Structure 1
Amino acid sequence: MISKQKQRIGMVGLGRMGANMARRLQRGGVQVVVYNRHTETSTELAKETGVLAADSLNALVKALPTPRALWLMLPAGDATESHLNELLPMLSPGDILINGANAFYEDSIAQAKRAEAVQVHYMDAGVSGGVWGLQEGYALMVGGDAAAVAQAKPFLEILAPGADKGWLHCGPVGSGHFVKMVHNGIEYGMMQALAEGFAILQGKTEFALDLAKVAEMWRYGSVVRSWLLDLTADTLKKDQVLADIAPVVADSGEGLWTAQAALALKIPAPVITLALQMRWASQGRDDYAAKLLAMMRNEFGGHAVQKEI
C-alpha cells in the first residue's frame, strides 16, 4: 500500500467528473498529478487547486512514485483503449490502473487481462454523484482483486461520502462496472416515473396544483422521497412551466447495457427497458412510427392527419 508520505495519484481525463474528483482528492491531502488531452485544462486546474499538471502521459507516469496509481476518467471505447495502449508499456509491475468512467463491464474484463499480462493491477470503478460529488462525495462501486483494492483504499476513502460508507468492493474485475450499469438502469426508471407523475399532476389544470409545493411536501415522510425528488423539487421551485427546455433526453449507454443484460439473463426488466425507449422517443427516434400510425388511422377511419407547419 502507498504510504501516507507518498500518497500521489494520476488523474487522466478532466471532464466534469474527472476534474471534480481531482479537486476532492487534492483537498483530502493527496497530491494529484493530472493529464488532459487539452493541456490548458490541466494548467487551469493546477492554478486553481495545486494539482500538478503533466503535459504528456509519459510526464504523468514519471511524476508518480512506485507503486503508481492512475485513475482514468475517459469516454468508453476508443478514447479509453488508445490511452491504455499508450500507458501500459510505461507502467511497472505492481502499479494500479483504475478505470472510473462509464464503461461496459465486459470491456473492463478484457482490459484487465491486458494489464495483468504486464503485472499491472486493474480495477473497474463505477462512479455516481455527478456534479454534487465534489461536495457530497461519490458512490463508488469497485471491482478488482483484494490487493488492488487495498492499494487504492486511501483514495477511495477520500472520494467516497465517508471512509466507511458510500463505497464497496463488489467483487472481481467487471463487477464494479456491472453494478454501476444496473444502478443507472434503475435511475432511468425512477426518473421516468417521477417525470410521468408530475406530467399527470400538471395536466389536471382545473386543480391549479402548485407542483413545487407538492414536490416539497413529498420530500418528507413520503415513500417516494429520494435525492431525485429533491432535485425535482429544486427544479420546480425555479420554473414549473419549463417553456425554454427542449423535450429531448440523452442516454449515456448504461440503460441500453442494462436492458441487454436483462435479456441475456432472461430476467424481465420492463420498467428499465421502457424508460430507455422513452429517452429514444424524446430524441425523435419514433417520429417515423408516429407518422405511420397517423396514416393508419386515416386509412381505416378517415381520421384527420396533422401536417407539419
Structure 2
Amino acid sequence: VINSLLPLLQPGDIIIDGGNSFYTDTIRRVTQVAPTGIHFMGMGVSGGEEGARRGPALMPGGDENAYQHIQPILQAIAAKVHGNEPCVAYMGKDGAGHYVKMVHNGIEYAIMQLISEVYDILKRGTGASNEQMHAYFNEWNNGKLKSYLIEITAAIFKQSDTLTNAALLDVILDKAGSKGTGKWTSQGAMNHGVAIPVIDAAVALRTISSYKTQRTQAAQLYPSRVGKVHLTVNEIADALFAAIILCYAQGLSLIATASEQLNMQVPLHDAVKVWRGGCIIRSTLLEDFYQAYQRNPMLQNILLDAPLAAQLQAHIPALRKVIAEAITAGIPVMGLYNALGYFDNYTLERMPTNMIQAQRDYFGAHTYQRTDRDGIFHTQWS
C-alpha cells in the first residue's frame, strides 16, 4: 500500500496507519519512508462501533512535528471527557502509538477475563440469576468499578435471544475469538522482560476455550463437582476491583519498560489520560492512575504510588477470600489468581528464587550472587 501511495505524495505529506499494526512493522515503515521526506504515523484507535459514531480514543505515534499538523483534525474527531477535553495525545516516537494500543488491547483481554470469572462465581458459585447479575453489575457501574466493560456486561444480562426468547448470553457458545493483539502483548512482554501474568492468562484461556470438543470429552472423564461459595456480592466486587488495578499495573509497567528500551519516550500520563474516554478500557480508575503519573512521571509501576497502594491494600483481603472460595468450590479463576500471585511476589522483599539460583549453579555452574557481599560466586556442590 505504501509503495502505491508514494508516487502520489510530496515531501512533508503524512501517511497515517490507524489499524492494529504490529509495532515493529510500524517502525520499519517509518524508516522506509523517511528518505522520501514523507512522514509515517502509526495510530492506535479504540472505541469499536460506538467510537466510530461518537468519537474514539486516539493514540498517534511517530514524528512529533507531523503530529502537530494533524493534531487539530484528531482532536475534532476524538472522544471528549470533562466537557470538551479530547481523548488524543502524542504517544511518542516510531511505533509508540501502535505499542500503546497493543498493550491497551492486552489490558482489555485481561479485564474481560476477570469479568468472566466473576460471572462464573456469581452464576455457579452463588446461584445468581441473569436478572440478579444485571442488578449487581448495574450497581457496580455506579461506583468504584464504573467502566465501559462493566456497563456493557450489565446490559448483556438483559439481552433476549430473538430466535428462542431465552437469555442471549445462555445460548452463546463458550469459544472466545481473538485478533492476535493479546498474543502480541504477551510476546512483547517476554521480549522486554516484563511480567504480565493476568494478560498471559487471558490469552491462554481464550486458546483453551477453543478446545471445545476436547473440553467436552474431558468433562465426561472428570465430572465437575462445583460447590457453593460463601461470599457476599461486595466481597466479589472488591476482589474484581483489586484484580483490575493489578491488571492495569502490569500493562502500564510494560509500556514504561518498552518505552525505555526502544527509546519511544511514551508519556504515561498522556496514555492513561487518552484512555479515560472513547476506548474499550475506559474506567474511573484511570483518573487515579493519571494523578499517580502527575505525582511521579517516571513511575515504573503504579503499585509504587502510595495513595494507590493504600487503595489496593484495602481490597486485597477480598481478592484472597474470593480466590480461596472459588478454588475450594472447583470454579477456575486463573485470571484472578494470577493477579494475586503477581501482587504477592511483586511485594515480597525476598523471594524463594535463591533456591533456583542454587540449583542452576549445582547442575550448570551458572554462578550466583550473595546477600552478604559483592561479587559472582560458584560452589562445587558435589
Per the normalisation by structure 2, the TM-score is 0.52
1:210 aligns with 2:137: no
Q: Deviations over 1:7-58 (max 9, x none)?
A: xxxxxxxxxxxxxxxxxxxxxxxxxxxxxxxxxxxxxxxxxxxxxxxxxxxx
Match among 149, 167, 178 for residue 251 of structure 1:
178
Indicate the RMSD between aligned Cα atoms, in angstroms: 2.5
Q: What letter corresponds to residue 138 of structure 2 in structure 1? A: E
1:88 aligns with 2:30: no
Task: Report how far residue 114 of structure 1 moved.
Answer: 1.2
Task: Report how far residue 286 of structure 1 moved.
Answer: 8.9
Task: Report how far residue 206 of structure 1 moved.
Answer: 4.8
Q: What letter corresponds to residue 251 of structure 1 in structure 2? A: S
CA distance in 2, matches of 1:194, 1:91: 47
Residue of structure 1 in register with 2:112 after alignment: 191
Q: Is the 8 A contact 1:129 1:138 kept in 2?
A: yes
3-state SS of the aligned residue for 1:250?
coil
Match among 113, 118, 122 for residue 201 of structure 1:
122
1:113 aligns with 2:31: yes
Q: Deviations over 1:131-178 (max 9, x none)?
A: 011333110111011221011112211221136421110111200000
CA distance in 2, matches of 1:288, 1:195: 18
3-state SS of the aligned residue for 1:249?
coil
Unpaired runs of 5+ residues, structure 2, are 161-166, 223-382
CA distance in 1, matches of 2:104, 2:189: 13
Match among 269, 274, 279 for residue 196 of structure 2:
269
Higher strand share goes to which structure? Answer: 1
Task: Report how far residue 284 of structure 1 moved.
Answer: 2.1
Q: Which has the higher contact order (CA 8 A, sep 6+)?
A: 2
Q: Is the 8 A contact 2:61 2:94 kept in 1?
A: yes
Q: Deviations over 1:240-290 (max 9, x none)?
A: 562331212111111111101111111111100010111111222893897
Match among 145, 154, 166 for residue 224 of structure 1:
145
Q: How many residues are paired up?
A: 212
Percent identity, aligned pairs only?
36
Change (3 A) 1:278 1:169: same
Task: Report how far residue 115 of structure 1 moved.
Answer: 1.4
Q: Is the 8 A contact 2:175 2:212 kept in 1?
A: no
Unpaired runs of 5+ residues, structure 1, are 1-82, 296-309
Change (3 A) 1:158 1:207: closer
Alignment of 1:1-309 (within 5 A): 83-162=1-80, 164-204=85-125, 206=127, 208=129, 210-221=132-143, 223-239=144-160, 240=167, 242-284=169-211, 287=214
Deviating above 6 A after TM superposition, structure 1's stretches of 4 or more consecutive aligned residues are: none
Q: Is the 8 A contact 1:96 1:122 kept in 2?
A: yes
Q: Is the 8 A contact 1:280 1:286 kept in 2?
A: no
CA distance in 1, matches of 2:185, 2:212: 20
CA distance in 2, matches of 1:130, 1:197: 24
Per the normalisation by structure 1, the TM-score is 0.63
CA distance in 2, matches of 1:294, 1:207: 28
Q: What letter corresponds to residue 101 of structure 1 in structure 2? A: G
Change (3 A) 1:92 1:245: same
Residue of structure 1 in register with 2:328 after alignment: none
